[in-house]
Amino acid sequence: MKLDILNIQGESTGIKANLSKDIFGIEPNDHVVYLDVKQYRANQRQGTHSSKERSDLSGSRRKIKKQKGTGTARAGDIKNPLFRGGARVFGPEPRYYGFKLNKKVKTLARKSALTYKATDKNIIILEDFKMQNPKTKDMISILKNLDIDKKKALFLTAEKDDNTCMASRNIPYVKVLSAAALNTYQVLDAQKLIITVSALKEIEEILIK
């Protein structure tokens, strides 16, 4: 598949980029895509939820009333979960939600996600650019030139560019990632995928081994 390379003014440079069939033209595997997205979202969870069980509460272990003859239900200590201010039974504890996923599975998932974007014609190849100033209005101008303003967009650059990242961070529907940080969830979540020429080469080096 060949796509025109555009500049930041939204004009064709007259050069075409060749998208590798080994990355952008494979048979997508939905199950590995599911696994990679599941792992990404699991890794975003803090897992810091916690509650106090009986051993965590301060209070006496003394039996608060006699076992029989009160006319009410028997009760143990004041930390009984049935009492107001008591402990919680089998409450949540801090835990790590992440899980292992093989490299080949993750690679296939990313190729599948990129193939979906290429099939739906939602990929734009952009010539390499560097923003001189980290200004939001400059990024909005680029989006308008590419006719993708108000659309969820993911920019993939060869290296992390601080100015580009800072210019886009106040735009809620735009994200900027380096090619090395490419992940399946972000690719599928974006409506448009904008890849610079250098980033395209790096993606091919990473995913074709």
What pLDDT, in 10s, does the model give residues 118-158? 999 999 999 998 888 899 999 999 999 999 988 999 999 99
> Using CA of residue 33, residue 36, residue 39, residue 44, what is the dihedral sign?
negative
Amino acid (1-letter code) at residue 5: I
What is the structure's pLDDT at 156? 94
Best CA proximity match to 194, nearest among 8, 30, 1, 25: 8
- Is the pLDDT confidence value at 26 over 90? yes
Tokens 């009410």 identify what position? 72
pTM, rounded to two decimals: 0.82
Confidence band for 109, pLDDT divided at 50, 70 and 90: very high
Amino acid (1-letter code) at residue 25: G
What is the structure's pLDDT at 208? 85
What is the structure's pLDDT at 149? 84
Domains and CATH numbers, the chain: 2-45+100-207 (3.40.1370.10), 47-96 (no CATH)
What is the structure's pLDDT at 192? 94
Average per-residue pLDDT for the chain: 92
Query: What's the whole-number mean pLDDT along residues 106-122?
Result: 95
Cα separation of 2 and 17, whole Å?
Answer: 5
What is the structure's pLDDT at 203? 94
What is the structure's pLDDT at 1? 80
Residues 6+ apart with CB under 8 A from 156: 177, 178, 179, 182, 193, 194, 195, 196, 199, 203
Q: By percentage, how much of the chain surpasses pLDDT 70? A: 100
Tokens 């979540």 identify what position? 189
- Is the pLDDT confidence value at 161 over 90? no
